[in-house]
Amino acid sequence: MRRYKIAAIPGDGIGKEVVPAGVSVLNVLTQRCGDFALDFESFDWGSDYWRRHGKMMPDDGLAVLKPFDAIYFGAVGDQNIPDHITLWGLRLKICQGFDQYANVRPTRLMNGVPGPLAKARPGDLDWVIVRENSEGEYAGHGGRAHQGHPEEVGTETAIYTRAGVTRIMRFAFRLAQSRPRKLLTVVTKSNAQRHGMVLWDEIAAEVAKEFPDVTHDKWLVDAVTTRMVLNPKSLDTIVATNLHADILSDLAAALSGSMGIAPTANLNPDRNYPSMFEPIHGSAFDIAGKGIANPIGTFWSGAMMLEHLGERAAAAKLMSAIELVLAKGEVMGRDLGGTASTAEVAQAVCDAIHAANI
Ligand code: ATP
């Protein structure tokens, strides 16, 4: 039997609720499939760990994670600890330490989910956003001087390297090529940002020559937001910088009906390190501890993890189960206008996995 070692890191807030739900659904799925197993090990790293130890994860945390086949992550963030400590101390430490340079965010308007776009129907919105996840605006390059004085200054310098832009561009073209429409939109802001963004555009044009069967277009980030809202059908795969794609993918998640549905994968495409799969939402303090977080984004992240592990049939089965539950509309989370708890949504997906027609 094929076995995979999975590190589960629920983290903070609703991460502690949706990851256990995801683990239980994946366990039901592996039992149903019968030909592979996921061996989960859970780590209590996050803000509570920080309160006990003064750090978000142990110093040898990356060495502990390295032998795993994948990481199943929840959320990070705490009302009483600054975001730059929680984010850089755990999630970004893993993303950067394991060179997870491609952040992949699928968005789909699913049957049964009421999206905010009055005219969009399921099928009109089926995108994958590829976010450069290792440099750009979030390279951590900058500093503060003259703190507390009137002349205080803070800098945050975006870094774009030829190596970094080329590898994400190749990844995005390859992903676009693997999808039926073979359509890639390269997002940029090279009208106002005359250096790094122009390098981004030039490399996009160079890499495009390697993929003659992929149609690509180039859009400014501000203009692409209106295209996402007014003409969602015209988009398929989108590649953008770390900051731009961060913003665009929150918009995408909202347009697909809820933050609670959307998944993401932080990939090390070279497979030198484990990749990490997580819902796109944060720790959502307002609903944490109430058992009402929608776990669908975590389940979809689980399907992406299975696909990455090469378990395509199981991934498809899980997606069909999710789609069936949403289309039926009987067991919907509160964010989708229903009343179901995290556990009830998990149970409905488990029941759908057992349904004969999946
Ligand atoms: P971040 O950690 O990114 O700052 P956050 O904790 O502020 O995020 P988000 O995750 O961005 O919160 O979510 C914003 C709001 O959307 C939440 O406060 C919550 O009301 C809602 N939400 C997010 N995820 C879910 C979910 N899984 N189920 C239901 N509602 C959700």
Task: Check if 126 is active-site.
Answer: no
CATH class of 116-140+156-255: alpha beta
pLDDT at 357 (0 to 100): 64
The mean-pLDDT minimum among 14-28, 113-127, 290-304 falls in: 113-127
- Positive or negative, the Cα torsion across 107, 112, 114, 117? positive
Decide whether any atom of ligand 1 lies within 6 Å of the 282 Cβ. Answer: yes
Answer yes or no: is pLDDT of 311 > 80: yes
Cα–Cα distance measured from residue 81 to residue 51, given in angstroms and rounded to the nearest whole number: 9
- Percentage of the chain exceeding pLDDT 70: 99
CATH architecture of the region 1-101+262-358:
3-Layer(aba) Sandwich (3.40)
Which CA distances in Å does 291 have to 117, 253, 272, 349? 29, 21, 36, 16
Cα 148 to middle of ligand 1, angstroms? 33
Q: In this structure, which amino acid lies at residue 235? A: L
Task: Check if 138 is active-site.
Answer: yes
DSSP conformation class of 334: G
Range 184-208 average pLDDT = 96
pLDDT at 64 (0 to 100): 98
Task: Check if 351 is active-site.
Answer: no
Cα 183 to middle of ligand 1, angstroms? 31
Cα–Cα distance measured from residue 58 to residue 312, given in angstroms and rounded to the nearest whole number: 34
Domain with CATH 3.40.718.10 in the chain: 1-101+262-358, 116-140+156-255
Banded pLDDT at 355 (limits 50, 70, 90):
confident
Range 108-119 average pLDDT = 88
Range 295-303 average pLDDT = 98
pLDDT at 328 (0 to 100): 93
Determine how many CB atoms are found less than 10 A away from the CB of residue 225: 16
Cα 161 to middle of ligand 1, angstroms? 33
Cα 284 to middle of ligand 1, angstroms? 4
Catalytic annotation, pick one of 4, 49, 138, 160: 138
By alpha-carbon position, which residue is closest to atom 9 of ligand 1? Answer: 282
Q: In this structure, which amino acid lies at residue 130? A: V
Cα 283 to middle of ligand 1, angstroms? 6
pLDDT at 276 (0 to 100): 98
Catalytic annotation, pick one of 222, 233, 290, 328: 222
Q: Choose the residue to mutate in 261, 287, 339, 344 for probing ligand 1, maximizing ligand atoms within 8 Å of C-beta.
A: 287
Cα–Cα distance measured from residue 166 to residue 160, given in angstroms and rounded to the nearest whole number: 10
The more confidently predicted of residues 84 and 94 is 94
Cα–Cα distance measured from residue 319 to residue 11, given in angstroms and rounded to the nearest whole number: 24
Determine how many CB atoms are found less than 10 A away from the CB of residue 122: 17
Answer yes or no: is pLDDT of 341 > 80: yes
pLDDT at 218 (0 to 100): 96
Task: List, for residues 39-92, the tens digit of each pLDDT value.
Answer: 999 999 999 999 999 999 999 999 999 999 999 999 999 999 999 899 999 999
pLDDT at 299 (0 to 100): 98
Cα–Cα distance measured from residue 193 to residue 148, given in angstroms and rounded to the nearest whole number: 30
pLDDT at 211 (0 to 100): 98
Range 98-124 average pLDDT = 91
Banded pLDDT at 203 (limits 50, 70, 90):
very high
Which CA distances in Å does 59 have to 62, 65, 211, 301? 8, 12, 42, 27
Range 200-209 average pLDDT = 97
Mean pLDDT of the chain: 95
Task: List, for residues 137-191, the tens digit of each pLDDT value.
Answer: 999 899 999 999 999 999 999 999 999 999 999 999 999 999 999 999 999 999 9
Which atom of ligand 1 is the closest one to the Cα of 250? Answer: 11
Task: List, for residues 9-32, the tens digit of each pLDDT value.
Answer: 999 999 999 999 999 999 999 999
By alpha-carbon position, which residue is closest to atom 2 of ligand 1? Answer: 282
Decide whether any atom of ligand 1 lies within 6 Å of the 281 Cβ. Answer: yes
Q: Choose the residue to mutate in 88, 281, 292, 336 for probing ligand 1, maximizing ligand atoms within 8 Å of C-beta.
A: 281
